[in-house]
Amino acid sequence: MCGILAVIGTDLEVALIQSLSKRLKHRGPDESDFVALVDSGVLMHERLSIVDLNAGKQPIQGTSNAWMIHNGEIYNHKSIRENVLAHHTFRTQSDSEVIVHLYEEFGPECCDLLDGIFAFVVLDGTEVFVGRDPLGVKPLYWGKDKMGRLYFASELKAIVDQCPQFEAFPPGHYYTKKTGLVRYYKPQWFDPTAAATALDSEAIRNVLTKAVQKRLMGDVPIGVLLSGGLDSSLIASIASRLTRENSSSPLKSYAVSLDPSAPDAVAAREVAAFLKTDHREIHFTIEEGLQILDKLIWHLETYDVTSIRASTPMFFLSKAIAADGVKVVLSGEGSDEIFGGYMYFRNAPSEAAFHLETIDRLQKLATADLLRADKSTMAHGVEARVPFLDKEFLELSVAVAPEHKMPSTHDGIEKYILRNAFDLPADPYLPEGILWRQKEQFSDGVGYSWIDSLVAYCESQIADSLFSQATTLFPHNTPLTKEAFYYRQRFQKHFPGQAAAQTVLKWIPKWQKNTDPSGRANKAHAKPDLAF
């Protein structure tokens, strides 16, 4: 996991590009390197060492003239080396190196052979090959400067003042000069009218276990984010079982909250005791959260309300994890999108609408929870891996007929089929109260007073006279609340201009009167007591 920057073109100032790359140093604090190729471009890499700690430095050269930089993890790299690339000679044991060799062997169509999370750039003479993983777990932006030179970067901050126009590189696509932008990831589940598959609880359990297992890959300590909700608790349970098979040391788990009595803290403590993990709780104050908002928005590169609310506790948590010497954590993103777990899904007007919304939320995850998970952890050099978004698990679970997923089918219980798949009384994965606990969104579960105080603070900072100018000041994605206005102000300070504003997609729940993204805005929540 790293920070990458590529500038494609000629007459480049290497010193300037190096200074731009240093804006990504938090993503790769372990080492830096670059290669400048005549008549091609410059590749910069800020490395977080996880696989092949001693020799996996990037950029990496292929067998001929191609060079590559990569941010992410390729989980099937050993299989690729031993099979389709068995006749290639490798320079490192790094998982990343297979990308440049696959390109040399198969050309840009090689993206489908990769099982992992990735954003990469390959330079081969005057040709460039760029790819991003299927759902955009790893961030990537691209733009052109005034001379027409192409820029690719892990974060917006490395290119925002160089390129008049830029945007997020779309997930599931690759680019070459010859082909232009091409969508390579075209699963059947993209089609909401595709035939539904039968419900298979055993397959759900087995494929998710396999997804967790491959994400335990690495040469560094691995932990789990444990909120105490269903998704993170299941991932922690599976990881704990797999870890016990190969290690005498307990799995490390981490939770964050305002105080020990917060809903998530209490639940996480129960799960940790049940799983016998090496558990650590991190607490932050509302004042500390408010103080880092400006810095947080610089890291996140978004003004989306729910992303900022949830990223604040995750930012503090990641800082503590990094200080603990852990570089990789497993996280539960994606489950709510697959199974319709958010509270507003209860109000879906039909099975078709429910199913379409799950697909839409998954396709937009790169602008929401995946952006939050990556940038709030990588702010401190911690890599987050997301088993629920494994390609095989997506193919299995998204295609399950929506009537099996809808809460109305199961007495109002969201994500019933996931809970039921792991409800094994003879060999329990989790305490029953956790397995069947109602959905609690992360920014709520750390302590209800966090969001309430955050909203009150933002309202106190924005005068009515200023807020009345919202449409004039921010014609694109005009903020509708003072909280949203406050975040937009700070975003614009760091990332001015229309192009930057257009990289952000706001997360808004459907089918309910109160469109605040908090789960407590829905009447079905156990404590629908929003103070605003």
**Confidence class of residue 519 from pLDDT cuts 50, 70 and 90?**
low
Residue 472 lies in a domain: no
What is the CATH classification number for the domain harbouring 118?
Answer: 3.60.20.10
- Same domain? For 180 and 230 the reply is no
pLDDT band at 152 (very low <50, low <70, confident <90, very high): very high
Answer yes or no: is pLDDT of 528 > 60: no
Q: What is the dihedral of CA 43, 44, 50, 53, to 10 degrees?
A: 90
Model confidence pLDDT, tens digit, residues 414-430: 999 999 999 999 999 99
| pLDDT confidence of residue 460 | 97
How far apart CA 427 and CA 209 sit, in angstroms, is 15
Shared-domain flag, residues 181 and 206: no
- Cβ contacts of residue 213 below 8 Å, gap of 6+? 242
Backbone phi, psi, residue 407, to 5°: -55, -30
Q: Is residue 423 part of a domain?
A: yes
Give tens-digit pLDDT for 274-319.
Answer: 999 999 999 999 999 999 999 999 999 999 999 999 999 999 999 9
Same domain, 217 and 168: no
CA 88 vs. chain centroid, Å, equals 32
Proportion of the chain above pLDDT 90, given as a percent = 82
Three-state secondary structure along 95-108?
CCHHHHHHHHHHHH
Q: In what order do the strands lie in the sheet with 141-144?
A: 31-37, 41-47, 2-8, 150-153, 141-144, 165-168
Residues 66 and 43 in one domain: yes
Backbone angles phi, psi at 140, to 5 degrees: -160, 135
The span from the CA of 406 to the CA of 346, in Å, is: 7
Q: To the nearest whole number, what is the mean pLDDT of the chain?
A: 93
Instruction: Give the domain-ending residue among 132, 157, 186.
Output: 186
532 pLDDT above the threshold of 70? no
Residues 178 and 223 in one domain: no
Share of the chain above pLDDT 70, in %: 95
Q: Are 131 and 232 members of one domain?
A: no
179 and 212 share a domain?
A: no
CA distance readout (Å), 364 to 41, 358, 384, 447, 493: 31, 10, 18, 27, 25
Q: pLDDT tens, 14-66?
A: 999 999 999 999 999 887 888 999 789 999 999 887 776 666 788 999 998 99
User: Is pLDDT above 90 for 329?
Assistant: yes
305-323 vs 448-461: helix axis angle to the nearest 10? 120
Q: What is the pLDDT of residues 167-226, one digit of tens each?
A: 999 999 999 999 999 999 999 999 999 878 889 999 999 999 999 999 998 888 899 999
The one-letter amino acid at 37: L
Per-residue model confidence (pLDDT) at position 79? 97
Pairwise CA distance, residues 190 & 188, whole Å = 5
Residue 522 banded pLDDT, cuts 50, 70, 90: low
Segments forming the whole domain that contains residue 35: 2-186
- Tens-digit pLDDT profile for residues 461-475: 999 999 999 999 999
Instruction: Determine the pLDDT at residue 488.
Output: 98
Q: Please indicate, yes or no, if residue 514 is contained in any of the structural domains.
A: no
Q: Kindly state whether residue 455 falls inside one of the protein's structural domains.
A: no
As a whole number of angstroms, the distance between CA 55 and CA 91 comes to 8
**Residues 339/417, Cβ–Cβ less than 8 Å:** yes
218's torsion region: left (phi>0), alpha (psi -120 to 50) or beta? left
Q: How confident is the model at residue 441 (pLDDT cuts 50, 70, 90)?
A: low
Residues 319 and 415 reside in one and the same domain: yes
* Residues designated catalytic: 2
Residues 92 and 140 in one domain: yes
Q: What is the pLDDT of residues 187-197, one digit of tens each?
A: 999 999 987 88
* Residue 381 belongs to some domain of the structure: yes
Question: What pLDDT band is residue 524 in, cutting at 50, 70 and 90?
Answer: low
Q: Does some domain include residue 165?
A: yes
Pick the range with the lowest mean pLDDT from 378-387, 408-417, 508-517: 508-517
Nearest to 68 by CA among 144, 6, 156: 6
**Does any domain span residue 502?**
no
Total domains in the chain come to 2
Residues 169 and 210 in one domain: no
Q: Is residue 360 part of a domain?
A: yes
CATH (domain of 233)? 3.40.50.620
Residue 1 has pLDDT above 70, yes or no: no
| pLDDT tens for each residue of 119-129 | 999 999 999 99
Is residue 123 located within the same domain as residue 258?
no
Same domain, 311 and 274: yes
Top-confidence residue, 106 or 449? 106
Q: Where is the domain boundary, 392, 414, 447?
A: 447
Q: Which of 399, 415, 447 is the last residue before a domain boundary?
A: 447
Confidence of residue 523 (pLDDT cuts 50, 70, 90): low
